[in-house]
Amino acid sequence: MTAYILRRFLHLIPTFLGATFLAFLVIQLAPGDFITRLELDPSYDRSQIENFRRLFGLDQPFTVQYAKWLSGFLKGYLGLSLSYQTDVWSVLKPRILNSMVLVVASVLFIYVVSIPIGIYSALRQYSWGDRFWTTFAFFGLAVPNFFFALLMLYFALWLKDIVGHEVFPIGGMRSLYIDGADFFEAPKWKQWLNILWHAVLPVIVAGTAGTAGLMRVMRTQMLETKMQDYVRTARAKGLAERVVIYKHILRNAVIPIVASIGFLLPELFGGAGFVEIVMAWPGLTPLILDAIFSIDVYIIMGSISISVVLLMIGNLLSDLLLAWVDPRIRYR
């Protein structure tokens, strides 16, 4: 087992080099660079534009740029952001933490909501309840995230009109004031309560598609396991239906879902997606989108390389988890 894990870790090195080099290449292949925007500003002379390129190292061949970035990365330095002129990690860190609030909450939301519903749907297949949740799942998978977020904003506004005060905030992550004083002067627990209150609608938006998907997976798994011989055997032994469902069916049905937990790792650091933009959540997505528009190479690369590393570790964890929950699997 130890040898297996060690071997997997060695495999990470070429994968990482390949993935980051490819990412760097793709960014370079796109026309233009960080300075291109200034080129259509009539007030700059050509020599000034060239000077900017020189200062930012954009005039060097891209293999040199990549080598410099890589040697920095190996020393634990993600590079200097072109637009912030400060190191990439200090730009990414607060955004990742903000996103994590949404990601953790929506993952919890997804699991807590979809697993019971999946079980219910499988046990009462083709009942009205099952049909309702199936319809819901189609809706959840089909509605675009950004549009749903916009609907939620207007819902919050509408609710405010009806009730007369703010039931849910209109976007953002923190209120300006708590009890009339500045947010940061309030006690910590009130600050956290305020953040969670802001997170309710974004979490619903971010979690809906995931819930819908996982619900369907759980239902299928349950239905498939229900047909297994050992389930029939368990029933024949005269076990109580509750024991059959929870000890025999559920335990086996949930294996692939447990195994996929490892994949959550990169998600935790990957931002919650477009909901952050529409609902003004100061997470990673708006930052990355900004960086892509302005071609701030090192912010993009920093985020990609963190994702790549975590994806690889998450993959490994998933495999190990699978071996742990499923005694049929052995690694050598």
Stretch that binds other proteins, among 101-109, 160-168, 210-218, 324-332 (CB under 8 A): 160-168
For 98, residues 6+ apart whose C-beta sits below 8 A from its C-beta are 173, 281, 282, 283, 284
Stretch that binds other proteins, among 13-21, 58-66, 86-94, 247-255 (CB under 8 A): 86-94
Stretch that binds other proteins, among 3-11, 34-42, 109-117, 223-231 (CB under 8 A): 34-42
- 167 in Cβ contact with 159 (< 8 Å): yes
Residue 43 interacts with other proteins (CB under 8 A): yes or no: yes
CB-nearer residue toward other proteins: 266 or 271? 271
Here the tokens at position 107 are 């993952």
User: What 3-state DSSP class applies to 129?
Assistant: helix
Q: How many C-beta atoms surround the C-beta of residue 36 within 10 A? A: 14
In this structure, the chain runs to a length of 332
CB-nearer residue toward other proteins: 4 or 52? 52
Residue 171 interacts with other proteins (CB under 8 A): yes or no: yes
DSSP 80: B
Residue 282 interacts with other proteins (CB under 8 A): yes or no: yes
Q: How far is the C-alpha of 275 from the C-alpha of 146, rounded, in Å?
A: 6
Stretch that binds other proteins, among 165-173, 237-245, 263-271, 317-325 (CB under 8 A): 165-173
CB of 94 to other proteins, least distance (A): 5
User: How many helices (H) does the chain have, and how many strands (E)?
Assistant: 16, 2
Q: Which long-range contacts (CB under 8 A, 24 or more apart) does 324-328 make?
A: 325/255, 325/258, 325/259, 326/255, 326/259
CB of 203 to other proteins, least distance (A): 17
Q: How many C-beta atoms surround the C-beta of residue 94 within 10 A? A: 13
Residue 292 interacts with other proteins (CB under 8 A): yes or no: no
CB-nearer residue toward other proteins: 29 or 227? 29
Residue 254 interacts with other proteins (CB under 8 A): yes or no: no
Q: What are phi and psi of 31, to 5 degrees?
A: -65, 145
Residue 48 interacts with other proteins (CB under 8 A): yes or no: yes
The residues binding other proteins (CB under 8 A) are 30-33, 36-49, 51-52, 55-56, 81, 83-86, 90-91, 94-95, 98, 150, 153-154, 156-157, 160-161, 166, 170-174, 176, 182, 184, 277-280, 282-283, 286-287, 289-290, 294-295
